[in-house]
Amino acid sequence: FLHAIADNPPDELMRSINPGFFFGTHTIYENVPLMIIPIASYEHAFAGMLAWEPSLNDDMTPLFSLVHYEKPDAEGVPQLVGFEDVLIKNYDVRALRDPNGDIKMLYSFPSRNFLIISERPHSFVEALARLRAERRL
């Protein structure tokens, strides 16, 4: 599935994925894409996601909103905005923000067995709740 929608997912990530995944939309005020991917090797999956970050949003644009803008760094030189570390419900998350500061794409490993990719924090929190309800986290 990732090869079908994305140009170049890292091989390290692809080798670390277990069969069977969830892709759907979570709807409250809008349809939000959400993926829950079972992981066989956390270390390889995490390294693969970090390596994919520079093109992740572009590669996933058919499903996720494109966030592409520059902001000045400490020296005032424009830099393309990238993922940053944030905490959501005490989970480490890598997030990409739009010019208004709103998170428009995020991914996290809430356990060593799952990768969640979403477009909004509320969908990530809902995925966590459902995984906890099924006692998978």
Residues pairing with 31 in the sheet: 27
Residue 4 to residue 25: CA distance in whole angstroms:
18
Tokens 């390290």, residue located: 12
Tens place of pLDDT per residue across the chain (137 aa): 887 777 788 999 999 999 888 888 888 778 889 999 999 999 999 999 999 999 999 999 888 888 888 777 788 888 888 999 999 999 999 999 988 899 999 999 999 999 999 999 999 999 999 999 988 77
